[in-house]
Copies of this chain bind each other. A is one copy, B any other.
Amino acid sequence: MGLDTPRETPHERLGAFLADDLAAVNALIRERMASRHAPRIPQVTAHLVEAGGKRLRPMLTLAAARLCGYDGTHHVHLAATVEFIHTATLLHDDVVDESDKRRGRPTANLLWDNKSSVLVGDYLFARSFQLMVETGSLRVLDILADASATLAEGEVLQLTAARDLATDEGIYLQVVRGKTAALFAAATEVGGVIARAAPAQIAALRSYGDALGIAFQIVDDLLDYGGAADALGKNVGDDFRERKLTLPVIKAVARATPEERAFWARTIEKGDQGAGDLEEALRLLARHGALEATRADALGWAAAARAALGALPDHPLRDMLDDLASYVVERIN
């Protein structure tokens, strides 16, 4: 299906196909992260933006716009916007999670301080806002404003829901849409909007981004219990130790006996964990088929993402987006 050698990932093929656009995005990001007055801003930003991030979200915007025949330059602004919003979120997340590592490197809050991470995040959010205003499209502004609100709401919801056994799959989905899928969906949708694509195509792009983002996050949560967590730079059971109620545990809690529920209440809600608890958690997940059910959900969302592409024109980029959806769940297949 791919245009290139089968060894390349869909992500690499997208990067090759969109190389000129991506170069323009990177130039714009470098230009806009500068600050005449506050050198701390480009220092902190460069640490994250130039740290070999995958540029997945800006690539989605570029691909959506090109796939719909766009030949202007505003997709570059929107791709940079989306990357700035993402970077601002990472800076604030690392403060909230008190993280000391991201992508195997020390976090900005560790290298500088929480203050810098909070304020530089605010700066990047404001800069993203300036970039999108430059496109002159109120519809694009509306979509990105809504995505920003969903994103922040999801983060707050996660604060209160993460350690509460009453959190069900519906709340989990809201959190995941906030954390990941809202920005994916906005990234693809604004690509279609700026290209003045037909309403059905714009809706399809949005559905693709939403489903891809959800699949992406479920795979992350599954791998945390699934043994392949190394690939994420995490250890098996990190989420359990951090008392994060992710989809596998939510499914196991829903099917728990009273004794099992007491186990989850002690380890997740109260945070009272000892030797052998992770093993017991894995045993309970297996007993109720929670990992298998989570895996099926991820595959279902990836399939939904691919199905949405059916409404879009035949184009090499469409094939790459199709491959990307398969690739996201490949690690659990």
Interface positions of A (Cβ within 8 A of B): 35, 37-41, 92, 95-96, 114-116, 118-120, 122-123, 125-127, 129-130, 133, 136, 138, 141-142, 145-146, 148-149, 151-153, 155-157, 159-160, 171, 174
Verify B138–A136 contact, CB threshold 8 A.
yes
Give the distance in Å from the alpha carbon of A159 to the alpha carbon of B43 in the complex.
Answer: 14
Whether A114 touches B115, Cβ cut-off 8 Å, given contacts A126-B148, A149-B130, is: no
Closest 4 CB pairs of A and B: A126-B148, A123-B152, A126-B149, A122-B152
With A37-B153, A138-B136 already in contact, the answer to whether A159 and B119 are too (CB < 8 A) is yes
Could you list 23 A-B pairs, sorted by A, with CB under 8 Å?
A35-B153, A37-B157, A38-B153, A38-B157, A38-B160, A39-B160, A40-B156, A41-B156, A92-B119, A96-B114, A96-B115, A96-B118, A116-B156, A120-B152, A120-B156, A122-B151, A122-B155, A123-B155, A125-B125, A129-B129, A129-B148, A130-B146, A133-B141
Closest to A129 in B: B145
A160 to B120, CA, bound (A): 12
Q: Say yes or no: B159 contacts A115, CB within 8 Å.
A: yes
Query: What are the residues of chain B within 8 A of A95 when measuring CB–CB?
Result: 114-115, 118
Contact B130 A145 (CB under 8 A): yes
For residue A117, which residue of chain B has the nearest CB? Answer: B118
Q: Which residues of chain B are near A145, meaning CB under 8 Å?
A: 126, 129-130, 133
* Cβ contact within 8 Å between B152 and A119: yes
Asked whether, in the complex, the Cβ of A159 is within 8 Å of the Cβ of B116, the reply is: yes
Kindly report how many copies of this chain are found in the complex they form together.
2
What's the dominant secondary structure at chain A's contact region?
helix
Residues of B within 8 A of A120 (CB): 152, 156
**Chain B positions within 8 Å of A152 at CB level:** 119-120, 122-123, 125-126
Neighbouring B residues of A149 by C-beta, 8 Å: 123, 126-127, 129-130
Whether A159 contacts B40 by the Cβ 8 Å rule is: yes
Chain B residues closer than 8 Å to A39, beta-carbon distance: 160
A39-B157 Cα distance, complex, nearest whole Å: 8
Q: Considering the chains assembled together, what is the distance between the CA atoms of A123 and B150 in angstroms?
A: 8
- Neighbour of A119 across the interface among B96, B123, B126, CB < 8 A: B96
How many Å from the CB of A177 to the closest CB on chain B?
A: 10
Contact of B119 with A174 in the complex, beta carbons under 8 Å: no
| Nearest Cβ on chain B to A46's Cβ, whole angstroms | 14
Name the residue among A95, A116, A146, A157 with the largest chain B CB count within 10 angstroms. A157
